[in-house]
Amino acid sequence: MASQEQQNHPESLSQDNCWVGLTSSPLEIQSVIDRVRSPQAGAIVLFAGTTRDSFEGKTVVDLRYEAYAPLALRSMLDIARKAKERHGLKGVAMVHRLGVVPVGEESILIAVSSPHRQAAWRAGEEALEECKARVEVWKREEFADGEGVWRANRDGQAGERIG
């Protein structure tokens, strides 16, 4: 029988105190923080990306995420490992939710631990920006008026309609 952790993160990779995952289940903040906890770390920084209720004046019903999982996981692990090395981190964990993410729920969690807070702050933000720029995850915003739009997984960049 699968553990609760395996059920929540059916697709994941880990290496060198870096863990990344994709799941269709609601994200669990404490489990992500626990993945980076270390007695050598004086700081843990967590970013939680949450579905907001509006975009450019339109009411958002939910977001829907899709990914090319094998490549997305490898990209996420590469980002995590580079952040860990560049900032002297003790651990990095990131998990992205797939499928429908209702308003008020998290779509991504990124946690980093470091001996000192400044490195953790910088690393967390850099990891998020790299994820948005590089990871093979796409989102569709569904609006209350019945319309929806695919977007690159970046703030505000609309996707292109394909014939």
**Tens-place pLDDT, residues 131-148:** 999 999 999 999 999 999
C-alpha 155: how far from its chain's center? 14
Q: Are the CB atoms for 42 and 112 separated by under 8 Å?
A: no
Q: For 59-151, where are the alpha helices, taking DSSP H only?
A: 69-87, 117-134
Mean pLDDT of 113-119: 97
Average pLDDT, the chain: 90
Q: Map 91-104 to HEC letters.
A: EEEEEEECEEEECC
Whether the model clears a pTM of 0.85, i.e. scores above it, the answer is yes
Confidence of residue 13 (pLDDT cuts 50, 70, 90): very high
Residue 163 is classified by DSSP as -
Delimit the domains of the chain by residue range: 12-146
Residues belonging to the binding site are 116-117, 132, 139-141
Mean pLDDT of 111-129: 97
Residues belonging to the binding site for substrate are 116-117, 132, 139-141
51-85 confidence digits (pLDDT tens): 999 999 999 999 999 999 999 999 999 999 999 99
Q: Are the CB atoms for 63 and 101 separated by under 8 Å?
A: yes
12-146 domain in CATH 1.25.40.420? no
